[in-house]
Amino acid sequence: MSDRPRSMSTQEFYDRAPTSYLTVKFLTAAAIGASLLFLAGLTITGTVIALILATPVLVLFSPILVPAGMVTFLAAAGFLFSGGCGVTAITLLSWVYGYVTGKHPPGADQLDYARMKIANKAREMKERAKEYGQYVQHKAQEANQGY
């Protein structure tokens, strides 16, 4: 092997060069990126200037603005919570109505399966209680006969 660098032919050079489409694509992306970076700089500069100018006003009115902000936040949170509960209640009632009328809403299979499991377990516990009651009654009779 030779240690000399291999010279490129003109054809290989043109084959490796980017196409005009890729060049235009790169220049467009660079122009858009540069303009967005410039706009981001302007925005942050404007925000800092507005904050510097508004700070004295915010400090002066903070005894009024902070409680007003808290009241506004709590009122908005209350309305959102109330609305969420209302939507949940309406959804639940419509699901129950569909289930009762036999329209088979989503999740009805799981509900029926759980109901059957609970009924089977209740029946099983009732039988166990009855057997245990008979056992206790029998032991009580044995104890009475022994005295």
| Per-residue pLDDT at 4 | 57
pLDDT tens for residues 34-48?
A: 999 999 999 999 999
Separation CA 70–CA 72 (nearest Å)? 5
* Closest C-alpha to 120, from 132, 108, 131, 128: 128
107 phi and psi, to 5 degrees? 90, -5
Instruction: Give Cβ neighbours of residue 99 (< 8 Å, ≥ 6 apart).
Output: 105, 108, 111
pLDDT tens for residues 109-135?
A: 998 899 999 999 999 999 999 999 999
Looking at the chain, the whole-number percentage of residues with pLDDT higher than 70 is: 88
**Is 58 within 8 Å of 65 (Cβ atoms)?**
yes
| Per-residue pLDDT at 142 | 86
| Per-residue pLDDT at 133 | 92
Kindly list the averaged pLDDT for each block of 10 residues, start to end, along the chain of length 147. 60 71 88 94 94 90 89 96 95 92 89 93 95 91 81
Cα→Cα distances 82→77, 88, 93, Å:
8, 10, 16
Residue positions counted in the chain: 147
Cα→Cα distances 18→5, 7, 28, Å:
23, 19, 15
